[in-house]
Structure 1
Amino acid sequence: MIASSTIILLIALFLPVSELTILLYLTAFLIIGYPVIWQSIKNIVHGEVLDEHFLMTVATVGALLLSDYPEAIAVMLFYQIGDLFEDVAVNQSKQSISALLKVKATIATIVTANGERAMKPENVQPGQLMRIKPGERVALDGELIQGNTSLDTSALTGESLPRDVQVGDQVLSGAINLTGVIDVRVTKPYRDSTIARILDLVQNASQKKTTTEKFIKRFAKVYTPVVVGLAVLLAVVPPLLVGSWATWINRALVFLVISCPCALVISVPLSFFGGIGAASRHGILVKGSNFLEAMNQVSTIAFDKTGTLTQGHFSVTDVLPLQPWHQDELLGLAAAVESQSIHPIARSIVEAYQGDLSKYRLDELHETAGHGISGHVDGHSVIAGNVKAMQAGDIKVPNSQPTCTTVFVAIDGQLAGRIQVADQPKPDAKAAINALQQHGVHQTVLLTGDNQQTANTIGQQLGMSHIAAELLPEQKVTEVDRLTDNAHQAHHRVAFVGDGINDTPVLARADVGIAMGGLGADAAIEAADIVIMNDQPSKIAKLMAIAKHTKRIVWENIIFALVIKILFLSLGAFGIVGMWEAVFADVGVTLIAIINALRLQRE
């Protein structure tokens, strides 16, 4: 459309004026202007008269009547080019976001009468039997009907410790099977999954308008009738006083073209959508431009601990042997027996041992879900596990309140020591807290269900402003409500960052809810306004930088468009500028504003 109209226009410009050239001009105009004219007619039918389509139609048809053919075509041509730029920018953002969601795709293994069959979760129906092997992620929600295992549910519950499940227990999608093979009867179809709903939210993200966008829409509804009235006065009043109707009608048409609010109406939402697209390329899913704008007002951010600021998996922090055993001996024997388990605590002990595990001779190994593992190592009877494992072996352990997860090790029927393991902060967590403070976040708060000593250790290590521990989900809501009341008094907002089902109420209550989506619970992702797909806390600071850049570009476009409009409207009213200058004041300003908004694509 743009290319064919441009070619016909160029041909007509190089031909002498004749009926043929006029026909070429009209053909080029109809090709490029038909969509705008038709949209204007449809809007009039629906009661929307004074919009940019109406202004463009009246001005260009008027220009044709005054024989300003090239100018009329140029106005429509540049308008369509502006629309093309807008479509390209929006599509780039949508493609970035859609590509981001593909990382969540999984395959479900379905048990049929003819054996196992790999299926897409979208094709699995409730009631079908799904087999999940160790190391696989659960693709769909269901009920465990055969087998027992330990599940890594840190993405669902926010807790580091795996959950032991047996026949009759519910198994949620997103959990990772750690030990045995299990069969699960599917209870929900894939279309009800959170990921499918998120994709729908992304595609409709532009429907959630910011206060700035709403203001521009309201401004345009008042501005457009005013300038149309001024154009009518300009076309009628001066000729009644001084004559020269053609001159003043031409000036009124120029005035109409200049007055079109395209730059404001198009560039502002495009800027916000560009910000959403820029965020998506950094692994940040923003469900609406209003949430991106709200990040500019956030002064307090509250964090869940496990899986949000910490890695959600264990590492050995201390090895405490009892006489006559030494650290290397205790850790070596424990690592040898744990080497046959894929439990995350067991893996952390194996990873901590720096020696050669192949030198140990293993025999009679037995693992009990929820307790630990036992066996013979080089002739020694070794048990590694929790208090329940020790009690099952009639081994006494000291009564104390541990500050972290403890693995007791018994050798030959006697307690030989203990190994302490703990969840560690994510590598970028401390840098993320520092970066947020530099971006104007005055208060960073740690809200966790863990014990106070563990919370204090992590919070102080990361430099948190305030720490609240041993909280139930409803108590987290109370804490966020208190923070929100204080922030709103200063016209600020509060964000909460979490990843588990237990964080869902808080994510929904905060001004801005941010979920860790890489391993986060489906319910948390659904409740959140923003999702960090790769689970890096440092992305929150990047999000704030994008939000600030977006806001700056929005106001650059608003100020630039209004200044140019006012200047050229004044010049047009006095006949100092003509239709070509009007094209720049309208479409040219729009193109510049769109190009400025596209800078966000490089963020």
Structure 2
Amino acid sequence: MAINRDVRAHVEKSYPRSKETLRTSAFRIQGLDCPDCAIKLERNIAALKGVRSASLVFETAKLIVEHDENLVSSSTIIKAVKAAGYEATIEGAKAPAKARGHFWTTDKRAQAVLVSGFAFAMGGVVQLISGLSPIAIALYAVTILIAGYRPARSSLASLRSLVFDMNVLMTFAVVGAIILGEWVEGAAVMFLYAIGTLLEAYTMDKTRHAIHGLLEFAPNHALVKTGTETKLIPVEDLSVGDIIITKPGERIPVDGRVVYGRSSVNQSTITGESAPVTKDPGNDVYAGTLNHEGYIEIETTRLAADSTIARIIHLVEEAQAKKAPSQQFIAKFSAYYTPIVIATAFGVAIIPPLFGGSFVEWFYRALVLLVISCPCALVISTPVSIAAAIGAATRNGVLIKGGSHLESIGQIKSVVFDKTGTLTSGRLSVTDIVPLNGFSEADIVRVTAALESKSSHPLANAVVDYVKTLDVEVPKTDGFVSLPGRGLQADIDGTTYYVGNPRLFAEMKLLDAEVEPLTFAMQREGKTVFILGTDEKLLGLVAVADSVRKGAKETVARLRALGIANIIMLTGDNKETAEEISLNIGIDEYRADLLPEDKVTEIEKLSRKYGRVAMIGDGVNDAPAISRADVGIAMGAVGSDIALETSDIALMGDDLKSIPYTVDLSRRALKIIKQNVAVSIVTKIAFIALAVGGMATLWM
């Protein structure tokens, strides 16, 4: 044993083990134009020694690899991608600059189609003049070589990985046509296939770049103010706390807060709403938005890489990586489809000749079967439609966080709205102050403001804003406690004070016959009433009022027009206020006096009663109910990390009309997907029958 230990020590000293250095690298893939190609490339990278995992999302052309740097470096991964027929750049690095010009004249695939198309046309001209001469055959061969270079190279990589994709089908078919001497048909098939893949690539490039184009709205440089000096620096060099200057007509380079000046800002790149929003000192502004007429100085609150617009793009990419049920079905279907087609074609070529059929004739029919069975249209139609819909929604200020949520919102049977901040503006104002038991109005204001200053509830904001207009000193508080669904409590100068709804004081048995009618009367006017008191007595009433959000009534009507009959309002407010608001908006069903946990219970009941439920709230106070709904929608999510994270769909602005827009978008996308799949399947079945019957050619 001692000898063994000595030997082991010698070996470890002489040949030390390299420590495993795991890292996660992200790459952008160029030239990826079909889902099958993405699957194949992902498998190739995952098979590299030292790679722990590889994930390639076709919709975003983003490859994420977890690998041991000691065994496989990022450059090795890039070389492996290139060997498979694609180009890769590390995420964040600049991709190779493309020649300036139109897609159809600068893209290599487009150039190949143009050149091969010219050769094919010239071959046809020569054939018309002198028949299928050596010159015509040479021109058709040039067509096949140029148009078929990428598919042939890709099919070889597929065969090495034992993956049978559409490139393999096309390559087999064209090689078979050449063997039979069908040069014209072989060239036609490969040329038309090249056109098809080019159109697919163009569509996917447009879809991918539509989202990333949002980043182009954010300037690359910012004018930084240091003392009395200014300096133009790259936005990547900015730090949190830097003061930057934005002049009229310029776009804001980073997320920040206005510290000097006043202006109006067009936030349509974020919220989808083109109406300018007034910005005063203390207001937040966002990268990529347009400063209209004022000079403003902005304190940077986020780094460029963490800006709202960058986070939106990141979340959209994550959303496109989450497959919708229809995408999952098509992916599973295509995995079995291509091998079955190849096996069927093999049977068509072999079995009939065994019973006296012509081998050449049935071999040709098998080639036709390979060509017309190519699953391109079937496989690409679903991801393109979903990616395009998510991209269109994002440009209109609606962030849909996955294909499954896009499908679900179009299938909902009922819509549930929270009241405060959703159906109403959430900008409450104080309307009444009623002193009780010898407490003065000034005392009510100062004590209530002291307690509410610790809260983020909209009611608190109304009181805090009101006290700013008065010359009142707000005392300090100790022992602050939030009472969910009821109110607040805190100590001031040794006395415990409570601010809350009537329910809180009813539980404390302090709500008397004098106060109840007064409270009820104000509630019937649509006001929200909360009470100030101690453990022994009530000190006063404060009433606040909210206004119905612009477009709320029209939104409810539009949802009903879309066939959603069940529209419900949930609120923690009293029944009288809830009834007043619901009548104004046109909602027949409401639930009042709800605690946060009660809202979750109501969502569960509604789901059992009506089916799929969408819940719309602010994404913060309503997070539990939003999470429980089949589709959770957060309003006004711009600048709110919680709303972006907790919801399935985030409305970046405050426009309620985005909700029926999203439902309609979902239904249109689903309709297009179903149409594409149905047409593709019916067409293929028809042409398969024609192929087996000998009534179809390789390219027609």
Shared fold per TM-score greater than 0.5 = yes
> 1:153 maps to what in 2?
none
Q: In the alignment, which of 81, 88, 104 is matched to residue 202 of structure 2?
A: 88
Residue in structure 1 matched with residue 336 of structure 2 by the alignment = 222
1:496 is paired with a residue whose SS is strand
User: What's the counterpart of residue 166 of structure 1?
Assistant: none
Q: Which aligned pairs between 1:33-48 and structure 2 lie closer than 5 A?
A: 33-48=148-163
Correspondence for 1:23 among 126, 138, 141 = 138
Please state whether the residue corresponding to 1:580 is helix, strand or coil: coil
The amino acid of 1:234's aligned partner reads V
Distance 1:299 1:67, change over 3 A: same
Structure 1 residue aligned with 2:467? 371
8 A Cα contact 2:222 2:234, kept in partner: yes
Equivalences for 1:482-561 in 2 at 5 Å?
482-484=605-607, 486=608, 492-517=611-636, 519=638, 521-561=640-680
Q: What is the root-mean-square deviation of aligned Cα atoms in Å?
A: 4.5
Deviations 1:125-178 (A, max 9, x none): 35x466999xxx997699xxx9xxxxxxxxxxxxxxxxxxxxxxx99998xxxx
Structure 1 residues 341-356: aligned runs within 5 Å: none
Deviation at 1:246, TM superposition (A): 1.4
Deviations 1:245-288 (A, max 9, x none): 21111111011111112221112222222333443454433232
Residue 565 (structure 2) aligned to one of 442, 447, 469:
442
Q: Which amino acid is 1:5 matched to?
A: S
Q: Helix, strand or coil for the counterpart of 1:531?
A: strand
2:390 to 276, 285, 289: 276
Matched residue, 1:2: 113
In structure 1, what is the Cα distance between the partners aligned to 2:222 and 2:581?
37
| CA distance in structure 2 between the aligned counterparts of 1:514 and 1:102, rounded to whole angstroms | 28
Query: One-letter code of the match for 2:558?
Result: A
**Residue 257 (structure 1) aligns with:** 371
Q: Distance in 2 between matches of 1:3 and 1:107?
A: 40
Q: Deviations over 1:377-396 (max 9, x none)?
A: xxxxxx899999xxxxxxxx
Work out the percentage of aligned pairs sharing the same amino acid: 37
- What amino acid is the match of 1:493? R
Deviation at 1:59, TM superposition (A): 0.8
What corresponds to 1:313 in structure 2? 427
Equivalent position to 1:66, from 164, 176, 180: 180
Q: Given that residues 194 and 526 in structure 1 are in contact (C-alpha distance below 8 angstroms), is that contact kept between their aligned partners in structure 2?
A: no
CA shift in 2, pair 1:545/1:139, >3 Å: same
Residue of structure 2 equivalent to 1:211: 325
Structure 2 residue matching 1:81: 3-state secondary structure: helix
Instruction: Tell me, in whole angstroms, the C-alpha distance in 1 between the residues paired with 2:622 and 2:245.
Output: 27
Q: Deviations 1:347-380 (Å, cap 9, x if unpaired)? A: x9xxxxxxxxxxxxxxxxxx99661435xxxxxx
In structure 2, relative to structure 1, the CA distance for the partners of 1:579 and 1:110 (3 Å cut) is: closer
Give the counterpart of 1:455 among 578, 593, 596: 578
Paired letter, 2:156 = I
**Would the alpha carbon gap of residues 419 and 478 (structure 1) be closer, same or farther in structure 2, given more than 3 Å must change?**
closer
Q: TM-score, normalised by structure 2?
A: 0.58
Give the structure 1 partner of residue 45 of structure 2.
none
Relative distance call for 1:45 and 1:460 in structure 2 (3 A) is farther
Q: Is the 8 A contact 2:613 2:631 kept in 1?
A: yes
Tell me the secondary structure at the aligned position of residue 313 of structure 1: coil
Change (3 A) 1:287 1:89: farther
Preserved CA contact (<8 Å) 2:219 2:253 = no
C-alpha distance after superposition, 1:203-231 (max 9, x if no partner) = 34332222122112222222222222221
SS at match of 1:9: helix
For 1:56, the equivalent position in structure 2 comes to: 170
**Structure-2 residue corresponding to 1:14:** 125
2: CA distance between counterparts of 1:514 and 1:431?
18
Aligned partner of 1:302 in structure 2 is 416
Letter in 2 for 1:56: M
**Is the partner of 1:275 in helix, strand or coil?**
helix
CA shift for structure 1 position 3: 0.7
Aligned residues of 1:428 and 1:536 also touching (Cα < 8 A): yes
1-side partners of 2:420 and 2:221: how far apart?
A: 27
Unmatched runs of 5 consecutive residues or more in structure 2: 1-111, 247-251, 260-281, 287-296, 435-457, 477-513, 530-540
**1:514 match: secondary structure:** strand
Aligned partner of 2:686 in structure 1 is: 567
Paired residue secondary structure (1:291): helix
- Describe the SS at the equivalent of 2:426: strand
2:155 is the counterpart of 1:32:
no
Q: Which moved more, 1:493-502 or 1:543-552?
A: 493-502
Post-superposition Cα deviations, 1:526-574, rounded to whole Å, max 9, x if no partner, equal: 3322233342222211222222222222222222222221121111112
Q: Secondary structure at the match of 1:34?
A: helix
Q: Which moved more, 1:38-47 or 1:4-13?
A: 38-47
- Give the direction of change, closer, same or farther, for the CA distance of 1:465–1:98 in structure 2 (3 Å limit): farther
2:555 to 425, 428, 432: 432
Q: What does residue range 96-175 of structure 1 map to in structure 2 within 5 Å?
A: 96-98=210-212, 112=226, 123-126=237-240, 128=241
TM-score, normalization by structure 1: 0.66
With over 3 angstroms needed to count, the CA separation of the structure-2 counterparts of 1:267 and 1:368, relative to structure 1, is closer
